[in-house]
Amino acid sequence: MTVSATPDAPLLAIEDLHVTFSTRRGLVEAVRGVSFSVAAGETLGVVGESGSGKSVTAFAVTRLLDASGRVSQGRIRFAGEDITAASSKQLRRLHGAAISMIFQNPRGALNPIRTVGQQIADAIMAHESISAGEGRARALELLKAVLIRDPEKRLDAYPHELSGGMCQRVMIAMAIACAPKLLIADEPTTGLDVTTQKTVMDLLARITAERGMAMILITHDLGLASRYCQRVCVMEQGKVVEEAQPLSLFSAPQHPYTKRLVAASPTATSTIADLAPEALSPSTVSLSPHPEEAAPAAVSKDGSVVSQPPGASFETKPAASPQDEGSAKKPAPGTPLLLEVQNLVKRYDRGVVAVNDVSFTIRAGESLGLVGESGSGKSTISRLVCRLIDASEGEILFDGQAIGTLPARDFHRSPLRKDIQIALTARVSECAERAGLPSGLLERFPHQLSGGQKARVGIARAIACRPRLLILDEPTAALDVSVQAVILQLLDRLRREDDLALLFVSHDLNVVRMMCERTVVMQNGAIVEQGESLALFAAPQTDYARTLLEAVLHLGGPTVR
């Protein structure tokens, strides 16, 4: 099978693609009449919410659909040839050598019992007759090409020994091993911190440009698509609803769905009230059980639902009346301290210091953001404050009482425990109604819920005992922008109603700026900067904080290619 496109023909052309899945309820059409093309050397972005059909379209191209799925209509052409009904032999030639795919969970996609060097060599040897020694040498060169640290050492490492960013680099090395013409990257930076995300995407942009590769970037991050793509397709419920260059698409979207996505995307200046003002309100919007139906309803100024997508399920509840709607609520002067963390240290075996001499305070009703790269110690601090683990040194005072010296088991029996809650995404609780969850969802298992519903369940569980401090560890990570907007507005409403204090751990700096009055910046287990959020984000004082802020992607920025 030839893999060279003619000058006049696109490298990949998808025409009227329909993909159906057989389920117990009958046939479900996940992709409905999708058409787009990708030129040689071009980067095309495909954006949309979960359930919009982005990944299913990619799996149809690579023939990696689930056993219950099939292409029921349409045509897929690659390099001028129809591959819609390609044989298994033809597909083996295509995979890796002509079309490669990077998956959104690199650690899950890698084989846990083989070294990364062996896995990269396997990708090469599947298409080329070379010795194991040659495969190892090629694998080392590829690790160097993706700029992984200590490539000779990493060659013999197992996936669990690498960070998420390193695992993604290994996946990129495997994907480019046989010099494919088309690279499909399915949410390649989901869950990565902002600096690692920028590093990975800059690497992909450089490699595809140097090697003349085309790339399809599938993402729910509009900032990512804006910066790294020449064209962007917007998908909703299995259809392409809009397609344009990113600058025109995001500055003047034409389709209502695109307008909602853009409105729900946080910017460097947006407030909670700014998020999708025509589609969301501080009212509680209950998400449909089906992610593909998760587009927000239009809400009138009096809080009533005036329109909603077919089949979607929404409930509207009255919002609290904020004192200063849309901005993080500052505690009144003289508000007492609720949490005091003093010189906190956490050491693990072999001398690893995860938290090093950290001190901060939170007043009653205040929101404090904790930001930094992966491994900076943010989540360890949340676990220490919640007394899930014991500190090596330092003190934790809650409402004036020392809780850091209490053994974790004793603390969880004490009355103070109900005043501190941590929001985790797999907890079920009787507070579903306050969190906007329909009662019917209480009988479901976690795997039957969408990402937004899981986030609401975690919040509902955390507020069950009316705590005074809520610890949120990446509460909106990997959520679609519109679902994220709903969750943030829910948290803001609950905070104002209950006078909740928040410790907000996140690598999304735009979200922290909107939600928190003060921000603590962490690096390698230590605080490098802290202050009022607006001042810190406007004029960071340390190089590290500036690096974090510079890595944040915004709509309408320059395109990299």
Q: How many CB atoms lie within 10 A of CB 108?
A: 10
* 206 CB-side CA count, 13 A: 10
DSSP per-residue letters across 83-94: -TT--HHHHHHH
Can you tell me the distance from the alpha carbon of 349 to that of 332, in angstroms, rounded to the nearest whole number?
43
Give the residue ranges of the chain where pLDDT is below 70.
Answer: 1-8, 276-329, 407-442, 448, 450-452, 556-561
Beta carbons within 8 Å of 386's beta carbon, 6+ residues apart: 420, 421, 422, 471
The angle subtended at Cα 187 by Cα 183 and Cα 190, nearest 5°, is: 140
pLDDT at 248: 93
The three-state secondary structure class of 361 is: strand
Task: Output the six-digit token pair for 459.
Answer: 């919040």
Note the Cα 385 to chain centre separation in Å: 25
Three-class SS state of 470? strand
Tokens standing for residue 148: 């992984």
The first and second tokens of residue 493, run together, are 């409403």
H or E element in which residue 426 lies: none
Alpha helices in 188-323 (DSSP H): 194-211, 222-228, 246-251, 256-264
- DSSP lists the bridge partners of residue 231 as 44
The first and second tokens of residue 201, run together, are: 């995407």
CB 481 within 8 Å of CB 267: no
Segments making up each domain of the chain, as ranges: 106-179, 337-550
DSSP letter for 373, please. Answer: S
CB 63: neighbour CB atoms within 10 A? 18
Task: Tell me the CA end-to-end span of the chain in Å, nearest whole number.
Answer: 29
Give the C-alpha distances (Å, rounded to integers) separating 405 from 397, 418, 555: 10, 18, 47
Handedness of CA 434, 408, 503, 351 (dihedral sign): negative
13 Cβ contact list (under 8 Å, min separation 6):
37, 75, 76, 77
Task: Reduce the DSSP state of residue 542 to 3 states and report it.
Answer: coil
The answer to whether the CB of 237 falls within 8 A of the CB of 521 is no
Report residue 339 as tokens. Answer: 């949490």
Torsion, Cα of 172, 178, 181, 185 (10° steps): -20
Residue 250 class from Cβ within 10 Å (0-12 exposed, 13-18 middle, 19+ buried)?
buried
List the structure tokens of 151: 């490539």
Distance from C-alpha of 272 to C-alpha of 279, rounded to nearest angstrom: 13
3-state secondary structure of 486: helix
Beta bridge partners of 23: 26
DSSP 440: G
Q: Which DSSP symbol is given to 293?
A: G
Q: Which residues pair with 248 in a beta bridge?
A: none
Look at residues 530, 264, 521, 265 and name the one whose alpha carbon lies nearest to residue 370: 521
Whole-angstrom distance, CA of residue 81 vs CA of residue 66: 24
In angstroms, the CA 263 to CA 482 distance is 8
Query: How do beta strands 353-363 and 367-371 pair?
Result: unpaired
Contacts of 26 (CB under 8 A, 6+ apart): none
- In angstroms, the CA 561 to CA 557 distance is 13
Residue with tokens 């960071």: 540
Residue 219 tokens read as 């993402």
Closest to 451 (Cα-Cα) out of 421, 488, 487: 487
Reference 371, options 208, 549, 243; nearest CA is 549
Q: What is the CATH number of domain 337-550?
A: 3.40.50.300
| Cα radius of gyration rounded to whole Å, the chain | 24
Burial of 79 (0-12, 13-18, 19+ CB in 10 A): buried
